Amino acid sequence: MSDSTTAAPTEKLTKKQLKADHPTWCPACGDFAVLASFFNVVQKLGIPHEKICVVAGIGCSSRFPYFVNAHGIHFIHGRALPLATGISLSRPDLHVFVFGGDGDGFSIGGNHLNHAARKNVNLSYVVMDNFVYGLTKNQTSPTTPIGRKSKTDPRGAIDRPINPMAQLVASGATFIARSHAAQVKHMNEMFERAILHPGFSVVETLSECTMFYPGAFDDGNPRKGGAFELVDEETQEMDSIEAAMGLTADLSPGKFGVYYETQRPTKNELEREWLTDAQSKIGDATQKDLLRQRFASMR
């Protein structure tokens, strides 16, 4: 999402300036590490403070904007991406970040995810996947594994979970990565690359819900006896959909790193081109004039 990312900051941004309210997540919730990583990377990149905009839907993970001292909106469940799209298109000078959970992104908001991705809207999206609905206290989510008991599936989940990385690859996103909240260095690297990518970048970050699904990601954590296996970018064809799809077959714990990376014009660029062209053809028409004309022609 690097349209104006590297603009020189007027003064060095500190974590103290970026921190807002004290996070209200449960002790050891994986979301703390995601927040800390976001602070690290934004500070490292020197993004001007007034250019940061954090958008979220609803869920524990979606509380994110409260904890960041920047422009921020806590919006409707599953609707963060359409709102963020509007912000990104109308304010190309801002760095738009979207944070949310597996329910917010893959269930109620799944449709919006596909469209924001295929349009290659210039923003960065982090799905904090905990395989459960945390905020509403333990219901089955679209990523919950079969057999896992929850309030909505007391005898164990029966529906086949979605494959988040396969869905993201199919969606048309131009930067797609996967990380783990217990691997801070790796998460920092993925977030930094996502932010610097021009276009729709997305990172699925496994973030443990210690309250309702403890141990969910131990198989991807070497400190808990699991394996943290990285995508080999030397041998992987990074802009191949087929190669990326190949990686998605390995679900649990799966591979971590960048699955897919390509360059395609962003919706921001294409829309700007269209507007400039239309304005030049109609004298000095404002964007409002163009909109009025368009509506008039549709009557």
Ligand X SMILES: Cc1ncc(C[n+]2csc(CCOP(=O)(O)OP(=O)(O)O)c2C)c(N)n1
Binding site for ligand SF4 (CB under 6 A): 25-26, 29, 31, 60, 130, 134-135, 209-212
205 φ/ψ angles, rounded to the nearest 5 degrees: -115, 120
**What is the rounded distance in angstroms from the CA atom of residue 158 to the CA atom of residue 283?**
61
Find the binding residues for ligand X in span 141-160 (CB under 6 A).
Answer: 141
Structure tokens at 228: 């943290």
Which is nearer to ligand SF4, 31 or 104 (by Cβ)?
31
**By the rule CB under 6 A, 133 interacts with ligand X:** yes
Binding-residue total with Mg ion (CB under 5 A)? 3
Cα dihedral value 118, 75, 176, 231, nearest 10: -160
Which is nearer to Mg ion, 3 or 102 (by Cβ)?
102
**What is the rounded distance in angstroms from the CA atom of residue 267 to the CA atom of residue 85?**
9
Helix 267-281 and helix 80-90, axial crossing angle in degrees, nearest 10: 50
Q: Which of 123, 135, 187, 194 binds ligand X (CB under 6 A)?
A: 135
**By the rule CB under 6 A, 260 interacts with ligand X:** no
The closest alpha carbon to 248, from 231, 262, 261, belongs to: 231
**What is the rounded distance in angstroms from the CA atom of residue 52 to the CA atom of residue 228?**
31
Report the partner that residue 261 touches, choosing among Mg ion, ligand X, ligand SF4, none (CB closer than 5 to 8 A by kind): none
Which is nearer to ligand X, 140 or 268 (by Cβ)?
140
Shortest Å, Cβ 114 to ligand X? 17
When CB distances to Mg ion are compared, the closest residue is 101
Residue position matching structure tokens 């960048």: 258
Strand, helix or coil for residue 88: helix
**By the rule CB under 5 A, 102 interacts with Mg ion:** yes
Which is nearer to ligand X, 100 or 257 (by Cβ)?
100
Span interacting with Mg ion, options 97-105, 110-118, 190-198, 283-291, rule CB under 5 A: 97-105
The closest alpha carbon to 30, from 97, 102, 96, belongs to: 102
By CB atoms closer than 10 A (0-12, 13-18, 19+), residue 128 is: buried
**What is the rounded distance in angstroms from the CA atom of residue 171 to the CA atom of residue 244?**
12
**By the rule CB under 5 A, 130 interacts with Mg ion:** yes
Which is nearer to ligand SF4, 64 or 212 (by Cβ)?
212
Shortest Å, Cβ 209 to ligand X? 6
Span interacting with ligand X, options 129-137, 151-159, 161-169, 268-276, rule CB under 6 A: 129-137
Find the binding residues for ligand X in span 34-93 (CB under 6 A).
Answer: 58-61, 77
Q: CB–CB of 127/205 below 8 Å?
A: yes
Contact footprint for ligand X (CB under 6 A)? 58-61, 77, 100-104, 128, 130, 132-136, 141
Contact footprint for Mg ion (CB under 5 A)? 101-102, 130
